[in-house]
Structure 1
Amino acid sequence: MNDLPAPDRTIDTSGKLCPYPIVETAKAVRALAPGAVLLVIATDPGIALDMPMWCKATRNEHLATFKDGAAWKSYVRRLPREDA
């Protein structure tokens, strides 16, 4: 996954179960500028399904979610919102 952009911010939700990783993602994305990339580190495998669905529901760009050792890494780009 070397073609992913360097994250502007990283949050680590290791050891927390759903919905905590998504709740923390929502908070972190709101604080980012449009176009910025967030890396979410999680140990809950549910993030593999939850993150793409959350991105679609919130109109943010899901770049990737993959297992890296014992953790999952999920990359999200905040997209500009017309209503923002």
Structure 2
Amino acid sequence: MLAQYVYSSKSGLFRIIRHGRQWRVLCEEQEIGRHDTPEVALIAARIACPQARLPGELDRWRYVPELALAHSRVSGEGTRWQLTG
């Protein structure tokens, strides 16, 4: 996993994750789709899950850079962070 955007909603934890040249959209552990840019991935997530009321701009999502993810793997608890929404 590389850089990712994260947003916690009442419908679950949404993530937009860079995966090679594409961006994956996930709600919890379920993949919603793969897209060429994070902006298109965000639009797809909003269309697929309108009940989640996801913000329309990525700057309102939490950005987790690649370096932070590498450090979280060392601790073993990086994928279990509690996020406030």
Length-normalised TM-score, structure 2: 0.33
Which protein has the bigger helix share?
Answer: 2
Length-normalised TM-score, structure 1: 0.34
Which protein has the bigger strand share?
Answer: 2
